[in-house]
Amino acid sequence: MAMKRGLGKGLDMLIPTEPHGTKEKKNGDKSTTVTGKKEKIKEIIKEVEVIKEVEKEIKLDINLVEPNREQPRKQFDEDALIELADSIKQVGIIQPLVVQQREGYYEIIAGERRWRAAKMAGLKEVPAVIRNYSEKEILEIALIENIQRENLNPIEEALAYKKLIEEFKLKQDEVAEKVSKSRTAVTNAMRLLKLDERVQQMLIDDMISSGHARALLSLDDKEEQYKLAMRVFDEKLSVREIEKMVKSILTPKKEKEETPKLDFLYKEIEEKMKNIMGTKVSIKAKDKNKGKIEVEYYSQEELERIIELLERTQNVVDM
């Protein structure tokens, strides 16, 4: 393991040594030697010197390196990998992989895309740094690396959040903090997992956008979600169009019915109730036999007064 020390090497340059004996300066009864100063400084430096371990980059046989099975990212753009492989052939791998030693192999913590491109480029060895992390830390690092590079599709991202929450007992705000996103963003991402699996796959395959997917979340019927998702793809519908379609499904238009006009009797009843309650009263008829009565109030005190009035009326009726 390489070690790094500070200050010691340049000491002789700061305080030159005297080859023959010691030079002495006198100041009254006090005298100080250069050698004495040098030894004193050496002692001080020895006390405060910090020894820092330097992380060592090594070369690993590419066949001894394997991807992390818990890697959030499951799909890799083939064209992008070919471009990266061509770059690696010319300049090599600039940033080393981060790996963890396992029994008989090295597991990738960060850099699977570089490893895949290196294999395509025909490299026999890859630069790597070996570190030791817990399973939770490995997942966090893989997730954060991919999210920061925007390499995860929305479903992969949602599944990674779910794993951090369910398996590692993190809260949504803790996950949000780790990936530098808002809690709302994490919540909205995870909601996509409520979609029909066929719709999730369409999102992965870029057949629909995240905006389309979020609009479809309002539908509980999975079959309805899939049918509308297919319409989005087939008819190239916009997010706004699909939102309107979802709204029309959730709130079907009722057959227009002419609202019966309040006759003179209703108006008279409204006035009587207004005088009794001391506030505005409206009677809204749905048909000849049904309707509703609305009593308005303008403060908490007025509401309490109306309730008290109704209670007194009820007591009178019970008597």
CA gap 24, 210 in Å, rounded = 81
Residue-wise DSSP of 133-165:
--HHHHHHHHHHHHHHTT-S-HHHHHHHHHHHH
Identify the DSSP state of 205: T
Helix (H) / strand (E) containing 94: none
The reply to whether 112 belongs to the active site is yes
Tell me whether residue 227 is exposed, middle or buried, using C-beta atoms within 10 angstroms of its C-beta: 0 to 12, 13 to 18, 19 or more: middle
Identify the DSSP state of 182: -
The closest of 110, 114, 115, 153 to 133, measured between CA atoms, is: 110
Give CA angle at 179 (173, 183), nearest 5°.
Answer: 30
Q: Of residues 70, 112, 224, 296, which has the active-site annotation? A: 112
Residues designated catalytic: 112
